[in-house]
Amino acid sequence: MPKPPLPADVAALLAQPNHAVMGTIHPDGRPVTVATWYLVEDDGRILLNLDASRARLAHLRANPQVSLTALAPDNWYTHVSVQGHVVEIRDDEGLVDIDRLSVHYGGNPYPVRDRARVSVLVEIDHWHGWGAAKQD
């Protein structure tokens, strides 16, 4: 699997508001996957944002390894998977990060304002592309 930096075409694909699935590891070792929003930050890290009560947040605190697969909107056969590790977990004060994600995906701030949110930053260790994103 290639390591960062990502080629320009792969970075451009990840910059889009794609359907995505993140994977974490349950404390008993089972893989757990769930659909999610993500955003690639200017420094190349991946921003994820979770309801503070979600089990996957506990998974990430116990084992900071994470995987994310983003699917091209016009052809799911073209996809990019990244594997990385959590470098920061912080409270999303004022829901700033979830609003950024919600605007990226739907054009509007996040509508649920009464639940605590947590932002997770993931540094990419490896990546794999397929379809039009396949690496050489």
How many structural domains is the chain composed of?
1
**d(Cα 52, Cα 61) in Å, to the nearest integer?**
12
Task: For residue 121, list its beta bridge partners.
Answer: 47, 88
| Polymer length in residues for the chain | 136
Residue 2 placed within a domain: no
Q: What is the pLDDT of residues 63-116, one digit of tens each?
A: 999 999 999 988 889 999 999 999 999 999 999 999 999 999 999 999 999 999
* Domain assignment present for 123: yes
Q: Is residue 1 domain-resident?
A: no
Decide if 128 is inside a domain.
yes
Q: What is the pTM of this model?
A: 0.94
Q: State pLDDT tens for residues 10-66.
A: 999 999 999 999 999 999 999 999 999 999 999 999 999 999 999 999 999 999 999
Q: Is 3 contained in some domain?
A: no
Q: Is residue 13 part of a domain?
A: yes
Q: Sign (positive/negative) of CA torsion 102, 107, 111, 114? A: positive
Structure tokens at 45: 């890290």
Q: 96: domain CATH number? A: 2.30.110.10
